[in-house]
Amino acid sequence: MTTSVTVHDDATVLAVIGEVDLATAPALENAIESILGGKPGALIIDLSEVSFLASAGMAALVAAHQRAGATRIVVVADGPATGRQLRMTNLDQVFALHPTLPEALTALQQN
């Protein structure tokens, strides 16, 4: 798993690539924690390039939600490896899910 960070206006985007499992979830947690330390207005976690999302990865997302404070967190996830799992576990009720990064950015600008 690899991550990269970009900034779009008031939103910080954490792009995640590869498999998020028990071995890589701690690295995801560290990346999220580092971003949240800067108190961005919004954090977009882009999982569009994730090929496998294990329960440890979903737990990292829930932990991020609990630590976010005033930072809005939205997730880009659309596909069998990510979106389906988030909907099946009702995490789509916790996070705003968007199918693409441009749609997530537009939704943040409108709110």
What are the angstrom distances between the C-alpha of 62 and each of 82, 97, 102?
14, 14, 23
> What's residue 10's pLDDT?
86
Give me the pLDDT at residue 40, please. Answer: 95
Estimate the crossing angle of helix 55-67 against helix 25-37, to 10 degrees: 20
Average pLDDT over residues 79-93: 91
What does the mean pLDDT of the chain come to? 95
Q: Which residues contact 77 (CB under 8 A, 6 or more apart)?
A: 47, 48, 50, 53, 83, 86, 97, 98, 99
pLDDT cut 90: percent of the chain above it: 91
For residue 16, which phi and psi values (nearest 5 degrees)? Answer: -115, 130
> 80 pLDDT exceeds 90?
no
Q: Are 20 and 29 in contact (CB under 8 A)?
A: no
What's the distance, Cα to Cα, between the start and end of the chain in Å? 31
Mean pLDDT of 93-110: 94
Whether this prediction's pTM lies above 0.75 is answered by yes
Domains of the chain in start order, with CATH, are: 2-110 (3.30.750.24)
